[in-house]
């Protein structure tokens, strides 16, 4: 399967998950709003996901998948199955202990994660209760990520890309059954835990149907390959989780601000995550095993082409998305979330954070490609150094800006930190023979920027003209239709510009969609 085919498969499934995710967020905003219960639940939601994305889909995956792909390529399926099975057992044993300890010590964990809650008993007590319910999700999703990595290495990308849909459907069902629980936050916490079981079971069934084997046995921590995974994971814990670390730094600082601030960041990040998640996950998932195999075989030309086309496709999608989020944030937030418990003031605060997050969106998506290039050649140290720089800068700038910009200052610091990391990655890989920029990339970048700016200007003008509809007293159906028209118009302008400037050609798209290999 070639890169764009794999990216399209993952992006399609991820897009479906984002649609169900928006349905979930709209329902969440209407029922939870941006009050103390919402703040507490979002802490309980982000806490296991932070560790999961660092230890499971982050550091573990980027360490495990290249080694698994190499084992599959050089030693065959039986050896790879034993390696994956032992990794499953090791993860199950280690994380069971970690999860249990964290649940017992959750009151102290919350002091570290959200220190500002210490003076707010309602938010603090709810956060502890919700987090104890949700934290076992870390174990379930870590095992799910391992199975997903195994399937991805076999070029079966759709199942793992689909599991977030099950997550969203579980939370939607929990919200609809909220009357049976003390608060909607309780309902969603239990729904989150249930989703972990559904996702793990789904991937296990998919793996069996695809006849992909893993041989589960007693965990062997002294296995040579497992020790290699742990050695690579050490520095990768920071490098792979930089976005999550930045977001949690945001939460820690926001916990000292007024009630609702954490909720504003959450809703803004949800919109920011639509392109970041769809494109970033697609390229990271598809590129890592392909680039690892190309480098293992010393196929320099293929590695260079994979790196450049991945970065190019990312920027083709990320730049216009970032500009659109930046030029009409209040229109988006108002139409999507402003109803029920979510007020006009909530929309205004969230829109400011969204515009600032959008500034760093292209950088964070590009970082995914750069980091994948490092991981594919088993280099986890360079991303660590860059990540540390980014995290320290993010915290320092956020603390400096909150006095003037409030919540928006926290989001702006995260956006600016992304571009500093991007520059550092470019410098780090500048002279590497397998990941340097090629002639086509240099040719297309200014054209992608121009097309994105043309789209941004068009969308801004149209959004201003339609402000009376999207932000007035029109019905919800009319507002959504107007927003849909804005999105369609922006897509049309950008598509016309991209093809007119020669960045993409129809014959190229036909060529890219031809399947190569299994």
Instruction: Give pLDDT tens digits for 224-254.
Output: 888 887 777 766 565 555 556 666 677 778 8
Dihedral sign for Cα atoms in the order 9, 14, 19, 24: positive
The predicted-structure confidence for 56-97, as pLDDT tens digits, reads as follows 665 676 678 778 878 887 788 888 888 889 989 988 998 999
Residue 105 has pLDDT above 90, yes or no: yes
Coil/strand/helix, residue 154? coil
Rounded Cα distance between 67 and 223, Å, is: 13
pLDDT at 101 over 90: yes
Picking from 413, 437, 461, the residue at the C-terminal end of a domain is 437
Contact 138, 48 (CB under 8 A): yes
CB 66 within 8 A of CB 54: no
3-class SS string, 268-288: HHHHHHHHHHHHHHHHHHHHH
CA dist list (Å): 165 to 160, 168, 207: 10, 5, 18
Output the pTM of the full model: 0.67
- Report yes or no: 307 and 377 within 8 Å, Cβ to Cβ: no
372 and 486 inside one domain:
no
Asked if 312 and 441 touch (Cβ cutoff 8 Å), the reply is: yes
Picking from 437, 468, 503, the residue at the C-terminal end of a domain is 437
Q: Do 184 and 178 meet the contact criterion of CB atoms below 8 Å apart?
A: yes
> Domain count of the chain?
2
Q: What is the pLDDT of residues 431-467, one digit of tens each?
A: 666 667 778 888 889 999 999 999 999 999 999 999 8
Distance CA 252, CA 242 (A): 15
Phi-psi region of 502 (alpha: psi -120 to 50; beta: other; left: phi over 0): left
CA distance 30 to 178: 13
My answer on whether 286 and 300 are in the same domain is: yes
pLDDT of residue 216: 86
Q: Are residues 157 and 133 in the same domain?
A: yes
Same domain, 353 and 399: yes
pLDDT (0 to 100) of residue 420: 92
Question: Are residues 100 and 207 part of one domain?
Answer: yes
3-state secondary structure 326-372: HHCHHHHHHHHHCCCCCCHHHHHHHHHHHHHHHHCHHHHHHHHHHHH
Residue range(s) defining the domain that contains residue 310: 3-437
Q: What is the pLDDT of residue 286?
A: 60
* Pair (464, 431) in one structural domain: no
Do 29 and 157 belong to one domain?
Answer: yes
The band of 301, judged by pLDDT with boundaries at 50, 70 and 90, is: confident
Instruction: Identify the weakest region by mean pLDDT among 129-143, 172-186, 462-476.
Output: 462-476
Picking from 109-123, 206-220, 350-364, which range would have the lowest pLDDT averaged per residue? 109-123
Q: Does residue 374 contact residue 380 with C-beta atoms inside 8 Å?
A: yes
Report pLDDT for 96.
94
The tokens 């494109």 sit on which residue?
A: 279
Is residue 302 located within the same domain as residue 321?
A: yes
Say whether both 370 and 451 belong to one domain.
no
pLDDT value at residue 272: 86
Q: At what angle do helices 261-296 and 59-75 cross, to 10 degrees?
A: 20
Residues 396 and 474 both lie in one domain: no
Boundary residue ending a domain (389, 421, 437): 437
Lowest mean pLDDT among 238-252, 455-469, 482-496, 503-517: 503-517
Q: Rounded to whole angstroms, what are the CA distances from 320 to 20, 325, 442, 455?
A: 23, 9, 18, 7
- Judgement on whether residues 277 and 300 belong to the same structural domain of the protein: yes
| Token pair recorded at residue 377 | 């050649």
Domain shared by 217 and 205, yes or no = yes
Q: What share of residues in the chain are helix, strand, coil (percent, to 5)?
A: 85, 0, 15
Helix runs in 105-136, H state only: 106-113, 121-134
């Amino acid at each position: 399967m070639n890169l764009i085919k794999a990216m399209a498969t993952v992006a399609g499934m991820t897009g479906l998950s984002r649609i169900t995710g928006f349905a979930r967020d709209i329902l969440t905003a209407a029922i939870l709003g941006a009050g103390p219960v919402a703040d507490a639940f979002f802490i309980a939601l982000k806490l296991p996901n932070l560790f999961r994305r660092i230890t499971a889909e982050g550091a573990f995956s980027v360490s495990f998948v290249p080694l698994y792909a190499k084992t599959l390529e050089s030693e065959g399926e039986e050896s790879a199955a034993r390696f994956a099975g032992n990794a499953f057992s090791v993860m199950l044993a280690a994380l069971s202990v970690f999860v249990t300890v964290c649940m017992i010590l959750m009151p102290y964990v919350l002091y570290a994660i959200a220190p500002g809650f210490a003076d707010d008993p309602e938010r603090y007590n709810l956060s502890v209760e919700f987090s104890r319910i949700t934290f076992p999700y870390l174990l379930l999703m870590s095992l799910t990520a391992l199975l997903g990595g195994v399937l991805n290495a076999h070029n079966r990308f759709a199942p793992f890309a689909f599991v977030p849909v099950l997550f969203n459907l579980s939370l939607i069902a929990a919200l609809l059954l909220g009357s049976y629980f003390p608060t909607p936050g309780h309902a969603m916490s239990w729904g989150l835990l249930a989703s972990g079981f559904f996702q793990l079971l789904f991937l296990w069934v998919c793996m069996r149907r695809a006849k992909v084997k893993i041989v589960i046995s007693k965990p062997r921590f002294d296995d040579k390959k497992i020790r290699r995974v742990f050695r690579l994971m050490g520095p990768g814990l920071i490098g792979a989780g930089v976005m999550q670390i930045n977001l949690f730094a945001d939460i820690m600082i926001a916990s000292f601000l007024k009630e609702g601030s954490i909720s504003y960041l959450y809703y803004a990040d949800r919109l920011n995550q639509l392109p970041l998640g769809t494109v970033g996950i697609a390229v990271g998932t598809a590129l890592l095993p392909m680039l690892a195999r190309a480098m293992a075989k010393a196929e320099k030309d293929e590695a260079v082409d994979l790196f450049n086309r991945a970065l190019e496709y990312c920027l083709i999608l990320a730049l216009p998305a970032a500009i659109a989020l930046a030029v009409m944030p209040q229109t988006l937030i108002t139409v999507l979330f402003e109803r029920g418990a979510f007020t006009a003031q909530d929309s205004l605060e969230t829109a400011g954070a969204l515009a600032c997050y959008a500034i760093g969106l292209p950088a964070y998506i590009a970082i995914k490609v750069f980091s994948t290039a490092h991981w594919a050649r088993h280099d986890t140290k360079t991303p660590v150094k860059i990540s540390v720089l980014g995290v320290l800068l993010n915290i320092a700038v956020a603390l400096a800006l909150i006095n003037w910009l409030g919540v928006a200052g926290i989001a702006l610091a995260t956006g600016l930190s992304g571009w500093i990391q991007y520059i550092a990655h470019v410098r780090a890989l500048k002279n590497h023979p397998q990941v340097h920029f090629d002639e086509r990339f240099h040719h297309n970048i200014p054209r992608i920027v121009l097309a994105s700016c043309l789209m941004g200007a068009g969308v801004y003008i149209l959004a201003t003209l339609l402000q009376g509809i999207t932000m007035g007293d029109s019905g919800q159906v009319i507002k959504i239709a107007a927003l849909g028209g804005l999105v369609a118009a922006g897509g049309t302008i950008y598509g016309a510009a991209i093809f007119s400037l020669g960045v993409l050609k129809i014959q190229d798209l036909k060529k890219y969609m031809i399947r190569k290999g299994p």
